[in-house]
Amino acid sequence: MDTGHAATADVPCTDALPGAALGGPVSHAVSRVARLHRIAAGKLLKGLGLYPGQELLMMHLWDSGPVRQSELIRTLDLDPSTVTKMLQRLEQTGHVRRRPDPDDRRAVLVEATDESCALHAAVRDAWGSLEEHTLAGLESDERAELTRLLAKVEANLCQETEGCPERG
Amino acid sequence: MDTGHAATADVPCTDALPGAALGGPVSHAVSRVARLHRIAAGKLLKGLGLYPGQELLMMHLWDSGPVRQSELIRTLDLDPSTVTKMLQRLEQTGHVRRRPDPDDRRAVLVEATDESCALHAAVRDAWGSLEEHTLAGLESDERAELTRLLAKVEANLCQETEGCPERG
DNA sequence: CACTTTACCTTGGTCGGCCAAGTAATGAGC
DNA sequence: GCTCATTACTTGGCCGACCAAGGTAAAGTG
């Protein structure tokens, strides 16, 4: 097999695209954007004592009050074990309280602590500016188009992975 | 069957984005799409003995021949420690060989093993179908638009995170 | 009522990814 | 030549995320 290592030295400048990206420009872009987005979120959340990912869980908690863990799993569409561990850490850092559900002794009720509620506004704000930062320079119609296309892509990826909540 | 992961049974209609999403629809969509995309990639790569993320590294290696580790770090735009650990695992699974650079005793030269080259076509193929699956139902102009918008978003996120390789 | 299935959650392991801190070699300045 | 900063990589720790497997409690079935 020809390993075809032609790229490093004297290629007549095909505009740099690392070559690997040629095989799937959108896939590539999605990963990169997601990673950068996560990093940006992390920086904004760092001052608030949250790690990226946790804010979504907290937002749902702030929004919905006490909920079953299974509710969180369904809403966030994450693996149960992921949520368990996130909650363990959030409990340890005092953002969340868990207690057994009296109506169903298998279940666990989760709610945001009062202290965590102080972060609510800050987190909402952080997400707002993150969204704005993400979409800077895009016109309204571009934003709408991006949203539409991402939804379409999500639906595509969903149907096979079989793991996402149906949408109307 | 349903191991409890996101049951699609009788969800009480989580229909219109759980409220948490209202604060940043695109941010939300990006995370979700990226996760689904990663899962899909993982399924395709599973049969090839690779984990999602590793394929990008391997593709670059197949493309470029022996390279310095720093080259990989720069190209993939990852943390050095991430690349180190990925390479350790790839070395252990026989996909990659590492040897010290004779010209610079700090540096490490990395190259794909011959056995790994057998995967080259399969991986390229997998990425091709993943890209196609991702973009199913999108017209050419929609694809171009999505690519353009993602690039714009990436540039936005880049400029502040300050961690991405300039292009162009 | 026992028996089986299903739902809810936990544990343990693995990977990708980050940061922070450390080692070692190169290179620049004096 | 010696010091000092820079570069290249490693280590350890942590988090999100997955899967696989387990334990317990509720619900379905005979």
Please give the Cα distance from A23 to B132 (Å, whole number). Answer: 11
Q: What is the pLDDT at residue A25? A: 85
> What is the SS3 string spanning A72-89?
HHHHHCCCHHHHHHHHHH
Does residue A90 contact residue A50 with C-beta atoms inside 8 Å?
no
- Does a structural domain hold residue A57? yes
Contact residues on chain A for B16, CB-CB shorter than 8 A: 168
Instruction: Using the predicted structure, report yes or no on whether residue A2 has a pLDDT greater than 80.
Output: no
Q: What is the pLDDT at residue A168? A: 40
Domain of residue B120, residue span: 35-131
Query: A5 φ, ψ to 5°?
Result: -90, 80
> What is the SS3 string spanning A76-145?
HCCCHHHHHHHHHHHHHCCCEEEEEECCEEEEEEEEECHHHHHHHHHHHHHHHHHHHHHCCCCCHHHHHH
Q: What is the pLDDT at residue A4? A: 39
Which tens digit of pLDDT belongs to each residue from A23-45?
678 898 999 899 999 999 998 89
Residue B96 DSSP class: E
- Does a structural domain hold residue B116? yes
What tokens does A73 get? 């799993």
Q: What is the pLDDT at residue B11? A: 33
- Rg from Cα positions in chain B: 19
Instruction: Using the predicted structure, report yes or no on whether residue A14 has a pLDDT greater than 80.
Output: no
* Other beta carbons within 10 Å of B39: 18
Q: How many CB pairs lie under 8 A apart between chains A and B?
A: 241
Please give the Cα distance from A70 to A80 (Å, whole number). Answer: 8
- Does a structural domain hold residue A15? no
Which tens digit of pLDDT belongs to each residue from A69-93?
999 999 999 999 999 999 999 999 9
- Does a structural domain hold residue A92? yes
Give the bases of strand C that a protein CB approaches within 7 Å.
Answer: 7-13, 15-21, 24-27
- Does a structural domain hold residue B113? yes
Asked whether the beta carbons of residue A19 and residue B63 sit closer than 8 angstroms, the reply is: yes
* Other beta carbons within 10 Å of A63: 16
Rounded average pLDDT per 10-residue block, chain B, 168 residues: 36 41 79 90 90 93 94 94 97 95 94 92 90 91 93 84 49
Query: A162 φ, ψ to 5°?
Result: 60, 30
- Please give the single-letter amino acid code of residue B160: E
Asked whether the beta carbons of residue A168 and residue B56 sit closer than 8 angstroms, the reply is: no
- Does a structural domain hold residue B88? yes
- Does a structural domain hold residue A165? no
- Does a structural domain hold residue B15? no
From the centroid of its chain, how far is CA B136? 19
Nearest neighbour of B150 by CB, restricted to A30, A64, A137: A30
- Rg from Cα positions in chain A: 21
The runs of H, that is alpha helices, within B4-162 are 25-46, 54-64, 69-76, 80-92, 114-134, 140-161
Please give the Cα distance from A34 to B75 (Å, whole number). Answer: 17
**CA–CA distances in Å: residue B135 to residues B29, B121, B143:** 15, 21, 7
Task: Spell out the residues 6+ positions from residue B113 whose beta carbon is closer than 8 angstroms to its own.
Answer: B94, B95, B96, B97
Asked whether the beta carbons of residue B60 and residue A19 sit closer than 8 angstroms, the reply is: yes
pLDDT classification of A164: cutoffs 50, 70, 90: low
CATH of the domain at B82: 1.10.10.10
Does residue B167 contact residue A49 with C-beta atoms inside 8 Å?
no
Number of domains in chain A: 1
Q: What is the pLDDT at residue B6? A: 38
CA–C1' B108–D10 (A)? 12
Q: Which residues pair with B168 in a beta bridge?
A: none
Does residue A135 contact residue A143 with C-beta atoms inside 8 Å?
yes
Kindly provide the b/e burial profile for residues B88-124, where b requires at least 16 CB atoms within 10 angstroms of the residue's own CB.
eebeeeebbbeeebeeeeeebbbbbeeebbebbeebb
